[in-house]
A and B are shown apart, each in its own frame.
Chain A
Amino acid sequence: MKVKILRYNSENDSSPYYQSFQVPFSDDDEYTVTDVLDYISVNIDPTLAYFKHSACDHGICGRCAVKMNEKNVLACTTVVDCSRDMVLEPVSEKHLVKDLVVRIP
């Protein structure tokens, strides 16, 4: 599946840009958005920033929200449709820290 992610690192980038990743997941299992992000982080681009510190991965801490195809979801419990492309963006432009990471006060 193709995953398009909005990237932005204020130290290097003048403005946000989309980057596409090819992730080899198929519908033989049920993967979450976090599974997709973990795959990219481990195997393709370790610089990708998404919420992943002291994370529960089971919808308990509620801190991993991202925008998936225009809809705000918890990354760790939201199952992805491997048969179609996916766009991931941060849930808030105003509170953006880096890539998909936001810090909402």
Chain B
Amino acid sequence: MATCATLTLPLPDAQATARLGARLAPLLGRADVLLLEGAIGAGKTHFARALILARLAAVGRREDVPSPTFTLVQTYEAGDLEVWHADLYRLTRPDEIAELGLEEAFDSALCLVEWPDRMADLAPDTALRLSFRPDAGEGRVVTLTGPESRWAPVLARLANG
């Protein structure tokens, strides 16, 4: 397995989670896959919404970004970039990933995937994993991990505020 770059950031409140999404947004492109891990209420959807809104705003668009829990997948068009926001919580078998068309999207779109554990080993090796967990107080901590070749420069930019 390729060497991984990793970065841990404190997220003291919901605004901090949203800011991280907005800062990461312009650093991403086609075929980037973000795996969003964490318990219910950890801020996964909040992060994804901020990222998608920033990407839409960059091309002068504003849309509702609803939770994908019921629809499983919401797609957005940010200029030439297609963005997929998937929530796999309700899936029961990895082969359902194929029915969703997610594997094709991994190559052609920017994909944000909540509850990626549902797809077992179908996640691409190049994905950036974001693990949200509670801190000692009322905030959260996120750890970003991904193959160095793609993600080291991105994480370096995030680390430098």
Do A and B pair up? The answer is no
